[in-house]
Amino acid sequence: MLPTQPKNTPSPVEESNGPRFQPDRRKDERTVSHVSIMIAFDNSGSHRKFVSMTFNHSKSGMCLETADFFEPGSRICIRPFNGPSDGLCLGGRQHPRTATPAEVRWCREFPDESSIYFRIGVMYC
């Protein structure tokens, strides 16, 4: 069984005078996941695909980690990298779909010791 993050758990927010906590506004429990996925812009005609990794997911959305910035409001299409993946719930379904449309709700930069990556929150369409 995969670990879950309880809904309505406070999440830390960094401030100059130390962390403070804000209420988590998620309506669904999140399941921690680390599955390779591909992202493409929905209906853009672009053939560029981005490799990403899931961070957590729920029946209404997921958090992704990627090396690329995605503009909030962008429509994207998420696909499992190597076919269906056990335990990954795309588009609020028990069994993974081939492709799932989603909207980018937020994108935050996370600096690492050797690089910069982004966490992206998406809501399934």
Query: In terms of Cα–Cα distance, which of 99, 109, 104, 101 is closest to 121?
Result: 104
On whether the CB atoms of residues 87 and 31 are closer than 8 A, the answer is: yes
pLDDT the model gives residue 31: 85
Domain residue ranges of the chain, discontinuous segments joined by +: 28-124
Residues 16-35: pLDDT tens digits? Answer: 444 444 445 667 788 888 88
- Predicted TM-score (pTM) of the model is 0.69
pLDDT higher at 15 or 40? 40
DSSP state of 25: -
Residues 46-79: pLDDT tens digits? Answer: 667 888 999 998 888 999 999 999 999 999 998 8
What homologous superfamily does CATH list for 28-124? predicted glycosyltransferase like domains (2.40.10.220)
Mean predicted lDDT score pLDDT of the chain: 75
Angle at 95 between CA 90 and CA 97, to 5 degrees: 50
Rounded Cα distance between 117 and 123, Å, is 20
